[in-house]
Amino acid sequence: MTLRVKDLKVYYQTLRGDVHALDGVTFDLEDGEIMGLAGESGCGKSTLGKSLIRLDSRMRHVGGSIELDGKDVPIADDDAMVPLRYHEISLIPQYAMSALNPTRKIGRLVTELLRARGVRPGDIEDELKRRLELVGLSTDVLNRFPIELSGGMKQRVVMVISTLLNPSLLIADEVTSALDVSTQRSVAESLVEFRDREYVRSMVFVTHDISLVYQMADTIMVMYAGRIAEKAPVKTIIDAPRHPYTQMLISALPEVGSTSTEERLEGIPGKPPGLLNPPTGCRFKDRCPMAFDKCAEQPPLLEIEPGHWAACWKTGE
Amino acid sequence: MTVSETLLELDHVHKVYRTGAFGGGRKRAVRDVNLTVRAGEVVSLIGESGSGKSTIGKMVLGLTSVSEGQIRYEGTDVSTIKGFKARKEYYRHVQGVFQDPFSCFNPIFKADRVFEMVRQSYAPDTSQEEWREKVLSSLDTVRLDPGNVLNKYPHQLSGGQLQRMLIARALLLDIKVLVADEIISMLDASTRIDVLNLLVDLKERGLGILFVTHDLSLGNYVSDTSVILHKGAVAEMGPTQRVFENPLHPYSRHLLSCVPQLHQTWAEVDAELAANPPEDVTLPTVPEGEYTAPLLEAEAGHFVGIDQT
């Protein structure tokens, strides 16, 4: 078991009160698992990704625990997190393209980063070059400035740098959203390759694109309004989702081959609740066609079949 | 199919940008593009970044000049429309909606101010009462509840709502052509489809829509005609169904094989392609130094363009 998150609560502090961005999130991530984390904007998926590595000044850890390889991850204690960052838990940021310092050549940037983390750059130079070649870049990029690289190249450089110390957990936050389809495919495939070669043990892949997750992930976790709606192996989520939100989300996706003349797809009416004063009970109940009296109570996240978790009163039937 | 009125015609359109510090370099962003948009038709311009798809949209909207060739709107060359009044008349019929709805609104004013601004500049004689009717009916068309969106600030509304308000704003004018430049990409999956369905509704009301997108599955869902652009030139053009079922240009095949699908993995797509390799098509060629991009009609209405790899 690599990662175990239990009842994690992280709130944003604002002048008008706390925003309950993560409100009791519980899940496990196996060794070698790539988990796609999907949901609408504002559902807390990026907050979850960030909470696993660093809370920024507005974020407050309210409750719950995170365990990585049997050890507690002290996310509320910023200093205690320092030894874990980059070594054990690493991140590819959402705007990887702008994560590179424009005034440094890539090589120097890597050297400085490694020194700051207490690693001798010389020890790792060969590995760095090998991995750059693996993702289809020449070692020549080390002598270039970020501006000289294309978007896809920058993304791959950041990917190699982030995983250089073989972290246990990699958080990839919307890493392919800004890329063209063909570059997107090669970046996604390289990420899977990194897992297969055990450069990273497990991965949380945050995205809003469910069809992309289907291509590369082992499991998908769908979040809604700060809570988990459903988590299951990829095939199950796509072919037999049990939570009404997942069902509606999947059926709202146009595919290559589906046209408006054959069949009109339907969106989900309404919008997600605000998280400043989240509603009680099931948070999807106002948009849910299956809602009934019991939804006034919060449904627990239950394992309805092995590896398939869902939080809905209707799935038990 | 009934032959309907041609609204917009692009005739050998080129766009050359000056590049480099002193504008010494030249970059041909759009190369020899021919296409037509008819009333009641959605034409998708599909391409990756740098393919020239947005530049075409901008040229149609008059936001950037045409370097060579002609864009004709109902037979009139758009570049000859000069002067404040004439241009305004053009914009009464041709409007655009863009990618980021959040940056289209001034955050310190209420969102419905955009409707009032249209009234001030295009219909100053209309009475408040009459105008209100018009706004309400236009909001009804985009399926927004007036109570939810009027009198609100932009930050109180969702991206999908703002985007639909911008479309409603365009509908207040007597538009015939709508340029929709990546209007879906900033929206969430659950509201995307509503905006797409709205485009289909507008099409059925007889609008011609130029739908610019990088997402092939979206293009597939709404459009009648698909145009795949590669490096500024048309790689493939034809009825959407034919283009997606039987892509002829190697670039379109590559692009389609990279699209993440919901029920087929990339490996399965590749295996299928390897098992039934598509027949090669002879692509048109261009002599060295010429910047034309001829199209070859492979089957009725389905064209392939030059190879630029």
Read off the pLDDT of each residue in A103-118 and give the average, rounded to a whole number.
93
Please report which confidence band the pLDDT of residue B164 belongs to, taking 50, 70 and 90 as the band edges: confident
Question: Distance (Å, rounded) from C-alpha A110 to C-alpha A115?
Answer: 9
pTM of the model: 0.83
Question: Distance (Å, rounded) from C-alpha B156 to C-alpha B110?
Answer: 10
Q: In terms of pLDDT, which residue wins out, B147 or A245?
A: A245
DSSP code of residue B67 = S
| Residues A253 and B189 sit within 8 Å (Cβ to Cβ) | yes
Q: In chain B, which residues have their Cβ closer than 8 Å to the Cβ of A259?
A: 220-221, 240-241
Instruction: Identify residues of A whose CB sits under 8 angstroms from chain B CBs.
Output: 40-41, 151, 180-182, 184-185, 188-189, 208-212, 214-215, 238-239, 248-250, 252-260, 264-268, 271
Determine the pLDDT at residue B271: 86
Determine the pLDDT at residue A316: 65
Q: Inspect the interface and report whether the beta carbons of B220 and A210 lie closer than 8 Å.
A: no
Q: In terms of pLDDT, which residue wins out, B50 or A198?
A: A198
Q: Sign of dihedral through CA atoms A149, A150, A153, A155?
A: positive
Closest Cα in chain A, distance from residue B121 (Å): 34
Q: Both tokens of residue A201? A: 């043990």
Determine the pLDDT at residue B1: 45
pLDDT in tens, B92-133: 999 999 888 888 899 999 988 999 999 998 888 888 899 999
* DSSP codes of every residue in B146-184: HHHHTT--GGGS-HHHHHHHHHHHHHHS--SEEEEESTT
Which of A37-41, A232-236, B196-200 is the most confident on average? A232-236
Question: Distance (Å, rounded) from C-alpha A6 to C-alpha A235?
Answer: 25
Please report which confidence band the pLDDT of residue A107 belongs to, taking 50, 70 and 90 as the band edges: very high
What pairing do the DSSP bridges indicate for beta strands A71-72 and A89-92? unpaired
pLDDT in tens, A193-234: 999 999 999 999 998 888 889 999 999 999 999 999 999 999
What pairing do the DSSP bridges indicate for beta strands A202-206 and A34-38? parallel
Question: Distance (Å, rounded) from C-alpha B196 to C-alpha A145?
Answer: 41
Read off the pLDDT of each residue in B196-201 and give the average, rounded to a whole number.
88
DSSP code of residue B249 = S
Determine the pLDDT at residue B281: 80
CB within 8 Å of B39: residues ≥ 6 apart: B4, B5, B6, B7, B176, B206, B207, B208
Q: Name the strand (E) or helix (H) holding A205.
A: strand A202-206
Q: Both tokens of residue B126? A: 């209309």
Q: Inspect the interface and report whether the beta carbons of A267 and B192 lie closer than 8 Å.
A: yes
**Which one-letter amino acid corresponds to residue A115?**
R
- E strand map for chain A: 3-14, 17-29, 34-38, 59-68, 71-72, 89-92, 169-173, 202-206, 219-224, 227-233, 302-305, 308-310
pLDDT in tens, B175-188: 999 999 888 877 77
Q: Inspect the interface and report whether the beta carbons of B193 and A185 lie closer than 8 Å.
A: no
Q: Name the strand (E) or helix (H) holding B63.
A: none
Residue B193 has pLDDT above 50, yes or no: yes
Please report which confidence band the pLDDT of residue A88 belongs to, taking 50, 70 and 90 as the band edges: very high
Residue that has been written with the tokens 């589906």 in this structure: A258
On average, the pLDDT of chain B sits at 87
Residue B3 has pLDDT above 60, yes or no: no
Q: Inspect the interface and report whether the beta carbons of B222 and A260 lie closer than 8 Å.
A: yes
Q: Inspect the interface and report whether the beta carbons of A182 and B48 lie closer than 8 Å.
A: yes
Q: Inspect the interface and report whether the beta carbons of A180 and B214 lie closer than 8 Å.
A: yes
Please report which confidence band the pLDDT of residue A150 belongs to, taking 50, 70 and 90 as the band edges: confident
Instruction: Identify residues of B whose CB sits under 8 angstroms from chain A CBs.
Output: 48-49, 158-160, 188-194, 196-197, 200, 214, 216-218, 220-222, 240-241, 244, 254-256, 258-263, 265-266
CB within 8 Å of A257: residues ≥ 6 apart: B220, B244
Question: Distance (Å, rounded) from C-alpha B228 to C-alpha B56?
Answer: 13
Q: How many other β-carbons are positioned within 10 Å of the β-carbon of residue A4? A: 16
Testing the interface with A: which of B258, B269, B270, B309 to mutate, by most A Cβ within 10 A?
Answer: B258
A228: helix, strand or coil:
strand
Determine the pLDDT at residue A201: 92
CB within 8 Å of B282: residues ≥ 6 apart: B296
Q: Inspect the interface and report whether the beta carbons of A41 and B188 lie closer than 8 Å.
A: yes
Read off the pLDDT of each residue in A90-102 and give the average, rounded to a whole number.
83
Question: Distance (Å, rounded) from C-alpha A233 to C-alpha A87?
Answer: 28
Determine the pLDDT at residue A317: 56
Q: In terms of pLDDT, which residue wins out, B220 or A89?
A: A89
A5: helix, strand or coil:
strand
Closest Cα in chain A, distance from residue B240 (Å): 9
Nearest CA in chain B to A270: B191
Residue A123 has pLDDT above 80, yes or no: yes
Closest Cα in chain A, distance from residue B111 (Å): 18
